[in-house]
Amino acid sequence: MELKTSREFTRLGWLYYNHRLYFISTTEKNWTVSRDDCLERDADLVVINSREEQEFVSSLAGNQWFWIGLSDGDTEGTWKWVDGTIMTSSFWRSGQPDDYGGEDCVATSLGDDWNDVSCAAQYRWICEKVLVLDHLEAELNKEVPPQIYDTPSSMTVSVGEAVIFSCRAWGRPQPTVQWLLDGRLLETNGTDNRSASVVRMDGENLVLRGVRSGVETFLCMATNSAGTANHTAWLFVYEVRPDGWLHFDHSLYYISTTKKNWTASRDDCLERDADLVVINSREEQEFVRRQAGDHWIGLSAGDTEGTWKWVDGTIMTSSFWLSGEPNDYGGAEDCVSTWEDGWNDAPCAYQYHWICEKV
């Protein structure tokens, strides 16, 4: 293997640990195609030789499942690593392996040991390269800018809940992780007291208790002498009122429990002294998106085809359409619902849940 510099390894996305290099995929594939990707990188799916390596690999996995280089595809019950060696030490989850429905490949995740699953399942994967020690000393002394491998995820919670954001980074020297709240650096040595909530640093975790209604921006920043990396997450906090309405930012929202067409859904909102939701920002779209399932929103093209108008009479300017939408399929899709990560135009006669808003 041609030895690259640490800068080249960093550029290619490799992490160093204990004389080995690890590559963490960002896409999902089946076990065989994942292994092919590793082989193309002059590597192979990771072979785990110790509890320390298992803990390191599971920390890379974060909260997702990742393929490792272990299977019993050749002989059922005989677990072999991709380097041809028979498994001797193992880190199975309780009750595993169980070969449920024919499970011949192995995956791991943060906080979990191994689980046998179908090789056709779609997971991310971890490649491993073993380095030649004779060439490592100079390489290991070189600085490597931070890389954040366990990124904080945006969350939607109700007022008063406890929230934990995690952020882990690798680099040389080991980076320092700091947190910023709405652009303000949080103290790392104790408690940050605010009028409505408490923020506490716990190692690389950010712990919040008694969160207040609204939107707050958290930024994880990893710094060492070679550079800085950061990742942003949002916290969307709503209040559940006794009458069933949710308070978020400056509005109240009602999430229906039944399904109706767009017109009947709007009539229900009007009877509640409200209207179908009008989405004015990315933060409000994210809050609405996190209410499960398809929901009617207050946007339609019923007056003029192709001119999208909100129920308050304003013309749509900012939009969050899904890829390929709106497409007016069949010439009869004049109303809009939330669906997965964005908007979809649909026939107004369809039966969906709906979201009312009171400003």
What is the per-residue pLDDT across 23-73, written as a single tens digit (0 to 9) for each?
988 899 999 999 999 999 889 999 998 888 888 888 877 678 899 999 998
- Residue 45 pairs with which residues in a beta bridge? 127
pLDDT at 10: 52
Which segments of the chain does DSSP mark as H helices, in order? 6-11, 31-40, 51-61, 136-140, 262-271, 282-289
The pTM assigned to this predicted structure is 0.48
Assess whether pLDDT exceeds 70 at residue 292: no
- Residue 21 pairs with which residues in a beta bridge? 16, 129
pLDDT at 26: 85
Q: Over the stretch 270-282, which tens digit does the pLDDT of each residue have?
A: 999 999 999 988 8
Q: Which two tokens stand for residue 310?
A: 């909100």
Choose the weakest-confidence range: 41-50, 76-85, 248-257. Answer: 248-257
Q: Over the stretch 184-238, which tens digit does the pLDDT of each residue have?
A: 887 654 444 444 445 666 557 888 776 677 777 888 899 999 899 999 888 878 8
- Residue 116 pairs with which residues in a beta bridge? 106
Q: Higher pLDDT residue, 315 or 210?
A: 315
Mean pLDDT of 78-104: 89
**Residue indicated by tokens 């995956």:** 107
Choose the weakest-confidence range: 122-136, 139-153, 186-200, 257-271. Answer: 186-200
CB crowding 182-196: b at 16 or more within 10 Å, else e? eeeebeeeeebeeee
pLDDT at 174: 87
Contact 140, 195 (CB under 8 A): no
DSSP label at residue 86:
B
pLDDT at 135: 53
Choose the weakest-confidence range: 74-78, 184-188, 216-220, 344-348. Answer: 184-188
Assess whether pLDDT exceeds 80 at residue 107: yes
Contact 41, 75 (CB under 8 A): no
Domains located in the chain, CATH noted:
6-134 (3.10.100.10), 145-239 (2.60.40.10), 244-358 (3.10.100.10)
Q: Higher pLDDT residue, 297 or 340?
A: 297
pLDDT at 42: 87
Number of other CB atoms surrounding residue 232 within 10 Å? 13
pLDDT at 6: 44
Q: How far is CA 233 from CA 65, 168, 306, in A?
A: 21, 14, 34
Q: How confident is the model at residue 11 (pLDDT cuts 50, 70, 90)?
A: low
Percent of the chain with pLDDT over 70: 86
pLDDT at 132: 59
Whole-angstrom distance, CA of residue 55 vs CA of residue 216: 32
pLDDT at 195: 40
pLDDT at 8: 53
- Strands 295-300 and 353-358, sheet pairing: parallel
Mean pLDDT of 168-176: 88
Determine which helix (DSSP H) or strand (DSSP E) holds 230, and give its type and residue range.
Answer: strand 227-240
Q: Higher pLDDT residue, 292 or 264?
A: 264
Contact 56, 149 (CB under 8 A): no
Chain Cα centroid distance, residue 232: 12
